[in-house]
Every structure is written in structure tokens, then in C-alpha cells.
A and B are shown apart, each in its own frame.
Chain A
Amino acid sequence: MKKLYSNKLVIFSLVLPGVLVFVFGVLSPICLSVYYGFTDSTGMGEAHLIGLRNYMDLFHDRVFGRSLKNSLFLAIGFICIQHPLAILVAAVLDKLQGKAEGFFRCIYFIPNVISVAVIAYLWKFIYNPDFGLLNHVLQAFGYQGQINWLSQENAIWSVLIVLIWHGFGWGMLIYYTGIKNIDPIFYEAASIDGASWWTTFLRVTVPLMKPVIQINVTMAVISALKQMETVYLLTNGGPSNSTQFAANYLYQQAFKAFKYGYGNAIGVVFVIICVLATVGLNRIFREQQDV
């Protein structure tokens, strides 16, 4: 058995496809990005090595700073708005028995399976101040004014709303599964103590869900950093870069401004930030668990 299980050739043949896909699909593009990040390439013709200049420029780039701030904003928005809502709804749903439970769970998840392309276009219409759904809804409730949902100040909030709406079912489902996995003994103990539903939720459900919450928080930060497609289609970073994100910005710089080298430098920094964020969050949470 041992011999069979340490046959180098077999191991090699089993691992090779995976490694190939990784090298070809992930590693080599990143390496190429690192190279181009040091050049003044326009994407066409000759490129010259210019050392760290792209990175120096990036350091002073107002728009890139804005992109990172926007990611932070989204992450906080997810954590402070989407996730509390999702846990709460999951807990309420857990109380519900029978068919209705499955029905609601099904409905909540539907936006998640719809393409971002459709979602973004749909919300463009929903946000339109003149004939959009949202202002019509406000009118139906008696509000007379018009709200400019995608204005310089509001746009980032509007982007957040779309993302919360789109991803709500996912977060909810994960919390729901987590809650289902809680041992009923804890609830029985709580009810013997005469705790109300709300107290039980705060004192029993939430603390026991800590590992799930941690996973979800990490996911929220990462997805806020990686945000691109919704913004690309909904606002394309506008008005005036107020909804700019790193991924969208690198795309614009490379394919609109002909700064291919600079775009790649953004890509490299972008990768580093994502890796640092993931590793950092995991470490923080692990330390907490150890305490």
C-alpha cells in the first residue's frame, strides 16, 4: 500500500492538471503583470522599463485612493447593514416551520442567480429619477420630491444597496445553515430561564454563530475589494470617480487611457492588498479564537 501511495509518477499525473491550470491561469498572468508594472507600455509597440515610477504615481493617485476608500465603505456597509439584517431574518426564518420556510428561503435567494449584467441594467432603470421604480415607490408613499439616486454623493450608497439586494440571499442562507446547526439544548436552556426571543437571539444565537460570522465578514471584505462588474455596468465609476473601484480603475487606465503598464501596476498592488486583507483577517480571527 505504501509503495502504491508514494508512486511519484502517479502523484505527478494526478497533480499535474491542477498545477498546470494554476500556473497558466493564475501564476503566469500575475508574473506578466509584475513585469508590465515596471514599464511604460501603452499596450502597443515598444515598452520601456521605468523602474518604480508607476508605483510612485500610484501612491499619489487620488482616484486610486478613492477606490480603496470605496471598497472600505462597501465592506463596512456589508458588515453593518447586510449582515445584521441577514442574521436577523435567518433567525426569524428558523422559527417558522413547514412549507413557508422553504418558500421564503427560495425567494430570498432568487436575485443571486441572476446575472450581474441584468441586475446592473435593471437597477439603472430602478434608479432613474424621472421614470424609475424607486421614485415611483416614494411617490406612492406620498413623497413629492425627486431623489437623484446616482448623484455624486448618493451613488456609492446606491451601489451598496444593489449589492446588498443582490447578495442578501447568500448571506442569509449561510447564517440560516449556521443557526440550524446550533444544538437545540441551548434554546431549551434559554427558555427555561424565561428569556425572551430577542434576548435568546442576542445571548445565544449570535455568540454561537461567531465562527460563521467571521467567515462571512472575511467574505464581505474580500468581495468589497473585488467589486467590479456591478459598478462597471451601473455607473462605470462615475459621476467623476465617486464610485470607482480598483478593478474597474485598472481596466479603464489600461484600455481607455492607453496606460497598460500603469494598469498592471494597479493590478499588482490590488493583488497584494487582497492577499494581505485575507491573511490579516484570518490571523485576527484565529487569535481571537485562541484567547
Chain B
Amino acid sequence: MKKKRMAVILSAVMTAAILIGCGEAGSTRKDAAGSGQTSASSEDAVTIKIFSNLPDRKNGQGLVEQMIIDEYMAANQNVTIEVEALDEEAYKTKFKAYAMDGMPDVVSIWGQPSFLDEVLDAGVLAELQEEDYTDYGFIAGSLDGFKKDGKLYGLPRNTDIMLIYYNQKMFEDNGWTVPATYNELLDLCGKIKDAGIIPVAMDGGDGWPMACFLTDILVKVAGTEYADIVSRAVATGDFTAPEIQEATQILVNSASVGMFQMGYDSQDYGTTMNLFTNGQAAMYCMGSWDCSMALNQDIAPEIRDNIRAFTMPVVEGGKAGANDIAAWNGGGYAVSANSPVKEEAIKFLNFMYQPDKLSKYGWENGVGLSAQDQTAYLTGNETELQKQVMDILKDATSISGTPINDCGPSAFKTSIESEIQGVSNGSTSVEDFLAAIGAACN
């Protein structure tokens, strides 16, 4: 039995190697860190340290990142790449610690004020030359979040769309249908709950997914005015705009009628996702980067193959139509300004962003959408989920931009991501919530 499993693993590794098109893809992160380079290359040995927010190196985005790293090391024998990877929350905390004093060479970043403003002010990220990337096929506007005073400091990795994933088979078996309005969604949740299943798995322990959910509702309420309303609120510290109040109230009502799993406000990312991927929850609210679930071998095939997604249904009386969606170019990479191997790090960064790397591998591995033009890599073998997401973006009539929690300084982000737990579970009133997050803007 053991042998058989070994054979499976081996063949998987080999397939990966062939896919990548190089013979040495079998070397993993740990080998790279431990064994050192023994190459006979005449160039000086270079070590690039990468700090990543993708701890799972065997699935989805993390796998893609690791594939490119392995490929780069194989092609450049003198380069060793060390990866430190932490879960998003832990990543952001440690990134800020690093930002204070010396960062690794290549880092994951988010092109959003809450993350970048202070970092760029302190000048810890290396400037990139925008004209170098004209052939890289970046979607128009996707670089904006990574700029300050017209200078570019990072590159976006994905186009993120807020989605509600659902288990299609479960829906069909129970005669449930995808809701078209928010009230229908609430009704549906009631039915699902009655059937003894969790309606929506929500990672409320981390705060930010719930803030993204709030963003999604607010977009449906305020329509294309979303960005203006939020930036005005952040600038003045006054969050009492009727749209924000209404959206918050909708979130509170939804939570109070049991839309989310019990204890959602204390459960982390992994736990929440596992509720959905183990058939305990009918829906799961997360960004499009989790589309790779459809290819994750740890998930049972009867669930994996039935994952579908829809966007937030329209809110009655809201200004947005079905195709005004919450989406943004958030995550990406940057190079440290003080990196001792800055040249090499930028070279690696550019290698990653060659259109046939991040973008192509990402597509092939079922990771949502990149921030680059991917039409050249359509194979016809995409998962149903990928096709859906592609259509959602294609049909979009407007795109929201940065989610609400990332629109202000990091003190605001810290505050809203903690306070939103209290308002959603009913221990804080909507007014107090809005006042508290307003106070954190000053």
C-alpha cells in the first residue's frame, strides 16, 4: 500500500515537472533552504529571501508561487530562494514588524491604503520602472493601487472578486436555487438552516472577510457611489451616511437570523473553508482566489466538482444592478528598497510576472483571475468555477475597488476588523460601531 502511495506521489511530482518544463522541479522549498547550492556556476551565489502570505505550498496560489520559484532556481543555478510563508493575518502582522526594520527581499503586499500608505511613506519598498511592464499585459488601472506620486512600487497578482461559493449538488438535491435578491438569499438561508445545514460559512474570526462581505452589501446599496461614500467617510471620520448604516444593518440582521455558522466570529480561515469543503455548509463567502478549491486534491471529489459561485444578489431598493460587483486588484508583490540583492530580486519579480508564469500557471491551477490578460491561456479545460468567474468579470458593469476596511489607515483597519465582530453578533449597536470606526480614522 505504502509503495502505491509513493508511486502516486512520484507520478504527481513528475507530472508537475513536465508541466513546468524542467527536470528539477522536484526540489521543494525545504531542500532549497537546507542543502544550499552546489552548482559549478561561475557567478556569485545569491540568496533571495521571499516572504509570502501563501503557506499552503501544495495547492492553489501557493503552489503556483512555488512552481515559479523552483523554475527560477533551476534556470539560475547561482540563485537560492528561501521562502518564509505565513497565514494572512500572521503575515500582515509580521510584515509590519519587518517594515519597521529591514525586510526580506521580495514580499507579498496589498495595493491598498491600509496596507501601503505608511509603508510607502517610510520608503521601504523599491521603486519599479513602469515602462518595463508595458508588454506584461496588466489590466488597465490594476497598477493604480501600487503607485504613489506617479511612481510604481509593486505589481498586482490577482483580480479579486467577492464571491459566494455554493455546493451545487446540495442545492439541486434540496431544490434550492441561486437567489436573485438579498431577501431571497435570506429566505434560502432559512430553508438551509431548517435542513440542519449551515447556510453560509463565514471567516469572522479574522474580521477582514466579514468587512469584505459588508463591502459587497454596501456596493449593492450604494452602487457606483460606493467609492466616494467610503473615501468621504474615511476622510471625515463620519460613517453615518445612510448607505453605510443600511448596509451595516443588513449585515447585523443577516447574522442575527443565523446566516452564518455558530461561532463564526471566532473561527479562522481554515476552519471556515473546511466547513464548506466537508459539506457542512451550503455556501462559503470568500474572494475569487479560493477558486482553486475546485482542483484541491484534499477535498472529496463529490464536493470539489460541485463548487459553483455567484455574486452578492441585489438589495431591494439599492442602486446597484446584478452586474455591479465588488472586485479589486489587491494582492501582489514588491521588492524591498534596502535589499542587498535588489537587482536580482527585481529580476526574479519580473520573471514571475512574465505573462506565461504567474498568470498562466495560475489559470492552469484553477486560481481565480490574475491582474494580467489571460485570454491567451484559455485551454477549454477550465473548471466550471473558473468559467463562471470569468463570465462574472466579463459581464461586470462596474467594479467597486478597494474594500472598505482597506480604505483607511491601518489603525482604522485594525479597528473595523475587530468592531465588526461586535456589531454583527449584536453586542455593539450600529451607531456605536460606526462611531468607533470613525474615531479610528483620526
Contacts and interface: CB of A to CB of B under 8 A. Distances in A.
Q: Do chains A and B touch in the complex (CB under 8 A)?
A: yes
Contacts of A251: 93
Contact of A146 (B99, B204, B262): B262
Interface hub of B97, B119, B263, B414 (most chain A Cβ within 10 A): B263
Interface string B418-437: 11111101011000000000
B93 A130 contact: no
A130 B418 contact: no
A43 interface: yes
B410 A258 contact: yes
B100 A44 contact: yes
B263 A255 contact: no
Nearest to A152: B427
Contacts of B121: 44-45
Nearest to B96: A255
Interface hub of A152, A235, A241 (most chain B Cβ within 10 A): A152
B118 A236 contact: no
Interface hub of A130, A152, A259 (most chain B Cβ within 10 A): A130
A47 to B, nearest CB: 11
A240 B421 contact: yes
B262 A148 contact: yes
Interface residues of B, number: 44
Interface in A220-275: 235-242, 251-253, 255-260
Contacts of B425: 151-152, 239-240
A128 interface: yes
B119 A155 contact: no
B88 interface: no
B29 interface: no
Contacts of B357: none
Contacts of B267: 128, 150
Contact of A43 (B99, B198, B420, B421): B99
B86 to A, nearest CB: 13
Contacts of A124: 268, 271
B92 interface: yes
Interface in B386-442: 409-411, 413-415, 418-423, 425, 427-428
Given A151-B265, A260-B100, A44 B118 contact: yes
A127 B97 CA distance: 31
B398 to A, nearest CB: 32
A150 B267 CA distance: 9
Nearest to A253: B414
Interface hub of B97, B124, B204, B266 (most chain A Cβ within 10 A): B266
Contacts of A148: 262-263
A257 B265 contact: no
Nearest to B419: A240
A155 B422 CA distance: 13
A42 interface: yes
B410 A257 contact: yes
Contact of A45 (B92, B122, B263, B418): B122
A236 B99 CA distance: 22
B414 A256 contact: yes
A58 to B, nearest CB: 14
Interface string B259-274: 0011101111001000
Contact of A255 (B97, B204, B422): B97
Interface in A10-65: 42-45
Given A44-B124, A237-B418, A255-B94, 11 more contacts: A43-B97, A127-B266, A130-B198, A151-B263, A240-B265, A240-B423, A242-B422, A255-B93, A257-B411, A259-B411, A260-B100
26 contacts: A42-B118, A43-B101, A44-B122, A44-B124, A130-B262, A130-B263, A150-B263, A150-B265, A150-B266, A151-B266, A152-B265, A152-B422, A152-B425, A153-B427, A236-B205, A238-B205, A239-B427, A240-B418, A252-B93, A255-B94, A256-B414, A257-B410, A257-B413, A257-B414, A257-B415, A258-B96
